[in-house]
A and B are shown apart, each in its own frame.
Chain A
């Protein structure tokens, strides 16, 4: 029974993830006339803020391997990653027409400039560059970021969102906190009993929430969790790994599955930075202004990623902590081709792991990678070597 439930939820998740023409968004807009749908690029965006403005946040993960990029390629040289191409392709094909605007967080210069291209190509839509703070003093970076978030609120108001209401904002934050907590439960299940919830399955479930409000997503995740915990499941004799890539461009799900089938239990990863960047709830007691609470949460609880300045912290320490606390045996670095953030971080992270004697392997991908043979072999060899020699 619970297997059936599990399967049907996952099937729904898969459909939602494949919803490139944003049918769910159109449905929501039909039910909420006048409501704004605001897209955002992966890595962190303030979904709670957008919901708090009565708008629907829509995560845009690129076209993956399902979109033939023809027009999009005309805008990018060959040494630029793939996600902006497919995103522009979708936009030019009209698939993103349901969006009233797009938020471009400060992930890297490619996404930054993509925001500028968006402004020029789609003049009547909002293109908002969200300058994530690299100063983590609440009175400096925090203050600036709060003002930035308020500016976003004003942009949404100018396009028809209702005036900022602190209670509505706080309610949205609570919804987000609950969703985040549910994801944390999923994460725990993956760590404790990876056979009950595979990384590829959790991936679909988390990503599916990209086009719905937090409350609805929480319900879906809760149902999945219950079904996962009670369905029959066989244990695998796999190696426990963490997958790291500061993922903005997403690998095809088949790649995640390939890693799993090569003998790896992916017990933690940073694939869904956009949905999981805050490593704890947004603290509503931190300020009277709920918008400031969001800003402070980013400052204080934002996960380490390539786009986030390391400051005085030691590079790689966060990863090592993650590995130790989750009981992982190794790390798989997967960077998107041409991804400056991930590729520049890698040598530093690898050096840190090397010092601790934590084994790792490295591979590259693109969102439209169709070849998994090499990855299968590489991951298989890695998992074998970890099994045989452990932390050698």
Chain B
């Protein structure tokens, strides 16, 4: 909340490039380069694959020299750039329900509006849709819808759900068999070349290296103060790994660079960068469950950063792969490792496993509390979160906050409502953390007063009832 006396100029979002870390510059360049490649794909004779973030087979695609496009990322970018409202309206005009996932509607609307990507360049149509059916039912419908639009081949990879927190041999074999017998042959046909297993292994090895550094970065939040924000800041760290660069030297170099930067911050006792510049004093350490809101991403971030709240761990940043529980891509078993990777993505894990993971984060990262951002569009994340809230409070003893918003529909981000909830939650945490201080004194004063006769004999227009 602002005051009339603090005339804060609210235009700090678009910072000078000189303020950015080298890793951010590097990432921006990588992304820009990727979109350039996409824009030239047809000219260059490159084939384009549309696929999903959970269960993305980037190393495989890279080994076949295929260019990936991730519609989820297009949608979130549209959200951040204020275009998603318009796109969603287009999709709803075309007959889609208000109730369904806004990523899908945003994508369809973007398609109907010329398919211009986040960098302003037109996105190439897909040569194949790789339906990596991992952790989200809506993906199935999304690519059925896109198939109507593009009339290109669709390759299904059914990644079984992990209800019991374990990957069985049957599950792994099913995925491996599909890769061997259907996915790879289909992709080879599109790519016009055979898959070189050595090339795949080479990329997997690079992935594993990058994953080492990524996990180090996640775990750096165990420091006090935390040098990173593992949610708002975290979405930037997952970029290269999740999207088109895992398994490349670029990605591996990026993570090495990032790690170095974070090491520097730790040495200097610095906190993470925020939309308003370097973070001030760390007051609250939080774990967050659920995707962020994209349309008001920076507003949302500020509700935390301006109160000294840092997110030390989050589950959303594990949707494209869970690496901090031991998994690394294993170049020696390429197909099995791809299967395990897909099976282990966060939204593919059963509710009990998710609760265990969150409990682990709260405890190991010494969080003061946790917050659930329940997103209207995403049933995969959202159904069961209310139960998770109660269960986690029981197990960890720290309070849980609960807010509701959406991915990219601006109509569902009630700023005042959300600010109210976040503020209340943080104040609640603060009161809890400082218990025994002034609050205790004040309370005992009240207890005495309640019994006093003076308190009983009030005047004409007063408050207070005899207890």
Contacts and interface: CB of A to CB of B under 8 A. Distances in A.
Complex contact flag A–B (Cβ < 8 Å)? yes
Interface in A105-149: 106, 108-110, 112-117, 119-121, 127-129, 131, 133-135, 137, 139-141, 143-144, 147-148
Contacts of A351: 148
A337 B94 contact: no
B96 to A, nearest CB: 6
A131 B163 CA distance: 10
Interface stretch (A15-23, A76-84, A278-286): A76-84
Interface string B139-170: 01100110110000010101011010000001
B158 A348 contact: no
Contacts of A74: 386
A35 B436 CA distance: 57
Interface stretch (B122-130, B188-196, B372-380): B372-380
A340 interface: yes
Nearest to A79: B376
Contact of B352 (A119, A131, A135): A119
Contacts of B160: 131, 144
A344 B97 CA distance: 8
A144 B97 CA distance: 34
B145 A348 contact: yes
Contacts of B387: 75, 117, 120-121
A203 interface: no
Contact of A120 (B97, B99, B355, B383): B355
Nearest to B384: A113
Interface string B108-142: 00000000000000000000000101001110110
A350 interface: yes
Contact of B100 (A109, A139, A340, A350): A340
Contact of B95 (A75, A106, A115, A346): A346
Contacts of A121: 387
A345 interface: yes
A372 interface: no
Contact of B104 (A137, A151, A344): A344
Given A75-B386, A110-B379, A140-B174, A133 B158 contact: yes
Contact of B141 (A114, A129, A147, A341): A341
B148 A106 contact: no
B99 A343 contact: yes
A108 B137 contact: yes
A14 interface: no
B212 interface: no
Interface stretch (A57-65, A193-201, A309-317): A309-317
B156 A135 contact: yes
A33 interface: no
Contacts, number: 151
Nearest to B347: A109
B465 interface: no
A140 B182 contact: yes
A140 B177 contact: yes
B241 interface: no
Contact of B161 (A112, A140, A309, A345): A112
B163 A347 contact: no
Contact of B156 (A139, A311, A335, A340): A311
A28 interface: no
Contacts of A256: none
Given A117-B384, A120-B391, A137-B182, A80 B158 contact: no
Interface in B368-400: 374, 376, 379-380, 382-387, 391
A77 B376 CA distance: 8
A368 B114 CA distance: 42
B101 interface: yes
A129 B137 contact: no
Contact of A337 (B99, B101, B174, B380): B99
A9 interface: no
Interface string B211-229: 0000000000000000000
Given A344-B100, A348-B148, A113 B141 contact: no
Given A120-B387, A141-B174, A147-B170, 17 more contacts: A77-B382, A112-B137, A117-B351, A117-B383, A120-B352, A135-B158, A135-B182, A137-B182, A140-B181, A144-B174, A315-B148, A340-B101, A340-B138, A341-B137, A343-B97, A344-B104, A347-B96
| 6 cross-chain pairs, A with B, having the tightest CB-CB distances, nearest first | A116-B351, A344-B141, A113-B383, A129-B163, A144-B174, A109-B379
29 contacts: A77-B374, A77-B404, A79-B382, A109-B136, A109-B379, A109-B380, A109-B383, A110-B379, A112-B137, A113-B383, A116-B350, A119-B350, A119-B352, A120-B391, A134-B140, A140-B178, A143-B177, A144-B173, A148-B170, A309-B158, A315-B147, A315-B148, A339-B99, A340-B101, A341-B137, A344-B100, A344-B141, A347-B94, A347-B95
Interface of A: 74-77, 79-80, 84, 106, 108-110, 112-117, 119-121, 127-129, 131, 133-135, 137, 139-141, 143-144, 147-148, 151, 306-307, 309-311, 315, 335, 337-341, 343-348, 350-351
